[in-house]
Amino acid sequence: MRKKVYIAYTGGTIGMKRTADGFVPAAGYLEQLMDNVPELKSEFLPEYRIGEYEPLLDSSNMTAGDWLKIANDISDRHSEFDGFVVLHGTDTMAYTASALPFMLQGLQKPVVITGAQIPLCNIRNDARENLITALLIAANFKIPEVCLCFGDKLLRGNRAVKVDADSLDAFESPNFPPLGTVGIEIKINWDLVLPPPKTRKTIKVTALNESRVAGLRLFPGISVDIVKNFLQPPMRGLILETYGAGNAPENRDLVATLKAANDRGVIIVNCTQCLKGTVNMEGYATGTSLAKAGVISGFDMTPEAALAKLSFLLSQELSVTKMKKLMQTDLRGELTHP
C-alpha cells in the first residue's frame, strides 16, 4: 500500500499566484497547480491530502496562535498518516521549525517543513523539487522529528536559520550537521536522528502562551535606557544577542540593569550574534560579569530556538530555578553543551 502524507498548507511563496500587484496567496490555487504536475501522481510518491488554511498567510504574519493551529492539526491526524509536510513561507520558517518541536511532545512521525523561493506557478522554480523531496522523506523515513527540508539539505528544525534571501539554498544549520543530504539519493545521517519516544503513544500539544518574551541585539554604544525599557514589567524573558563568545560592554549600569531584572525573576539568556559558535561566559571578563548578574548561557542555540524554548518553559507552571536549568538542558536536540 502507498504511504499517506498530510500536507498542512499554511501559505507562503510556494503556492502564490501572480497578480498585477505581485505574488499573493490564493485559495485553492496550489492544489490546482499540483494537479497539473505529473510527477505528483507517480506511484513512487505517497498519497497525500491537503489541508489548506484559512486564511493563507504570508509567513511574516505568522503568530504563536498559528503555530498552535499547525501543532493541533498534526496531533489530530497523527495516527491517520505516515508523515506530515508543512508548506510555509521562508521568512519565518526557522521560527516555526524551532517552535513545533517543543509544542509536539511525543512525536513519532516525521514532520517536514518546506516552501520555496520561487512559486510553483513559475516555469523555473524550486517549489517542485522541495515539495517532492519533502513528500518522499515524510513517507519513507521514520524520523520522529520536526525537520526543515530545503534545497539539498534536511535540517533539524530547531537548528535551522535562514541565511540567504536570494539563494535556492536559503537555510543552514550552523552548529549541527544536516540530518540528511539530497543528491542522487536521499541519505539520512541516522546516528544524528533523535530516538522515538519510548512510552507516549499520543502527542501532547503545549501551546506557547507566554508572549512576554523578546530578543535584543546588542550594538556598540547601545544606551542602557534602551535595555532598561526593554526589561520593564511585564517582561518575563529576554534573549540577549551578545558579541562573539557571549560578551557585552563592560558597563556597570548595564550589568546593574540586567541584575535588577534577574532579581525580579526575568530570565535572560545569552546567545551569540555570530552565525556559528557557542557562548562561553567564562572566557572573558565581559562575559563573566553577565554571569554574575544572573544571565545564563544559551550555548550554541539559535536565537529562534532560544526564543521558542523560553516561551515554552514560561508557558508552564515552573519555578525560575527550574526554568533556568531546563533552558541549559538539551530537550529536543536544540543545543550542544561545550
In angstroms, the CA 320 to CA 311 distance is 13
Q: Which grid cell sits at 308?
A: 521558542
Q: What is the pLDDT of residue 22?
A: 84
In angstroms, the CA 318 to CA 329 distance is 15
This prediction has a pTM of: 0.95
Q: What is the pLDDT of residue 6?
A: 98
Q: What is the pLDDT of residue 281?
A: 84
Q: Which is catalytic among the residues 10, 13, 114, 278?
A: 13
Q: What is the pLDDT of residue 20?
A: 86
Q: Are 269 and 276 in contact (CB under 8 A)?
A: no
* Cα–Cα nearest to 101, from 69, 62, 140, 144: 144
Tracing cell 521568512 back to the chain, one arrives at: 91
The answer to whether the Cα torsion of 285, 287, 290, 291 is positive or negative is negative
Q: What is the pLDDT of residue 24?
A: 86
In angstroms, the CA 289 to CA 279 distance is 14
Give residues with Cβ within 8 angstroms of 182, minimum separation 6: 133, 149, 151, 152, 153, 154
Q: Are 279 and 236 in contact (CB under 8 A)?
A: no
Regions in the chain scoring below 70 on pLDDT: 200
| Mean pLDDT over the full length of the chain | 94
Active site residue 96: no
Q: What is the pLDDT of residue 197?
A: 87
Q: What is the pLDDT of residue 200?
A: 66
CATH for 4-205 (3.40.50.1170, 3.40.50.970, 3.40.50.300, 3.40.605.10): 3.40.50.1170
Output the furthest CA–CA distance in the chain (Å, rounded): 67
In angstroms, the CA 337 to CA 305 distance is 15
In angstroms, the CA 53 to CA 70 distance is 9
Q: What is the pLDDT of residue 14?
A: 95
Q: Are 171 and 148 in contact (CB under 8 A)?
A: yes
User: Same CATH topology for 4-205 and 213-327?
Assistant: yes
| Distance (Å) of CA 30 to CA 14, 56, 279, 289, 318 | 8, 11, 43, 53, 43
Please state the domain extents for the chain: 4-205, 213-327
Q: What is the pLDDT of residue 25?
A: 86
Helix 303-314, helix 93-103: angle, nearest 10: 40
Helix 252-263, helix 285-292: angle, nearest 10: 30
Tracing cell 510556494 back to the chain, one arrives at: 14
Write down how long the chain is.
Answer: 338
Q: Which grid cell sits at 218?
A: 546588542
Q: What is the CATH number of domain 213-327?
A: 3.40.50.40
Which backbone phi and psi does 333 adopt, to 5 degrees?
Answer: 80, 20
In angstroms, the CA 227 to CA 217 distance is 10
Q: Which grid cell sits at 158?
A: 530547531
Q: What secondary structure, in 3-state letters, does 165-196 show?
A: CCCCCCEECCCCCCCEEECCCEEECHHHCCCC
